[in-house]
Amino acid sequence: MIYIFLANQIRNRINSEEFQLNQPLPSEKKLAEEYGVARMTVRRAIDTLVDEGMLERKHGSGCYIIDKDVTFENKGLNSLTEQITKTTKKLTSKVIGFSVIPCPSSVARRLKINPGESIYYIIRIRYVDKHPVHYEESFLPVKLYPTLSVSHMENSKFQYIEEEMGLVIEGNYFTFTPYQVPEAIATHMEIAPGTLAMQVTSISQSRNGKVLDYSITTENTHYHQTTYYFRRHRAS
């Protein structure tokens, strides 16, 4: 539906640096002209954002921005849990799949283990203030984490790896890929199938190069955005 697409476009603008909290949104007339749609379509899009608690209508003066979705600036390797603890938002994780399987060859290459070794295959949905922001598939070697449980994955995976298992995550390799979300994942993310999202492949390594975690995360960029800062090291 056009108004849903428009609501997402306005949401992205609200979450950008273009607008600050308590700032008024452009008028319905101006937005209709900008996007080339009817004012009724704009009104329905704004109604959607009002219902979500992002906008507030003030009689006689228009709509004001009263909240933004979760947006972070990452200057280092921080988990979602660590990011959220710096805000007033609430993070919850729901594990919808937890099994031990023989490691497929494609995954074994990334984990640097032999195909057929036992690994955990875990799927969880991560929510920020009840909005689903991450659909995460994790692959972890059983031999590294013999005590791993659902309750650990309902909390911080990095905390379990580092504090309970005593392993040090030295760094991550990230791959960012635009991704049209299939229906099976879209249902959990509460978005329409085919919606463009960001898929992030992450490989965590220890200081000696051992792979500690391989994860594939679909990020719902309508509710969660991260800006990464990478320090420049001049090539020699």
For 4-63, what is each residue's pLDDT tens digit?
889 988 988 887 768 877 889 999 999 999 999 999 999 999 999 998 888 999 988 889
Residue-level pLDDT at 75: 47
Average pLDDT, the chain: 87
Intervals of CATH 1.10.10.10 along the chain: 2-65
Nearest to residue 76, comparing CAs of 161, 198, 170? 170
The larger pLDDT score, comparing residue 24 to residue 85, is at 24
Q: Which CATH architecture has domain 70-228?
A: 3-Layer(aba) Sandwich (3.40)
Instruction: Say if residues 192 and 103 touch (Cβ distance below 8 Å).
Output: no
Residue-level pLDDT at 226: 66
Q: How far apart are CA 128 and CA 91, in angstroms?
A: 5
Residue-level pLDDT at 138: 97
Intervals of CATH 3.40.1410.10 along the chain: 70-228
**Rounded to whole angstroms, what are the CA distances from 204 to 185, 194, 210?**
24, 29, 8
Report the alpha-carbon angle 203-141-157, nearest 5.
Answer: 60
- Here the tokens at position 176 are 């960012």
Place of tokens 């800062």: 229
* DSSP 8-state assignment for residue 155: S
- Here the tokens at position 173 are 């390799």
- For domain 2-65, the CATH class is mainly alpha
Task: Write down the pTM of the prediction.
Answer: 0.68
Find all residues with CB under 8 Å of 100, minimum gap 6, and list them: 118, 119, 120, 121, 142
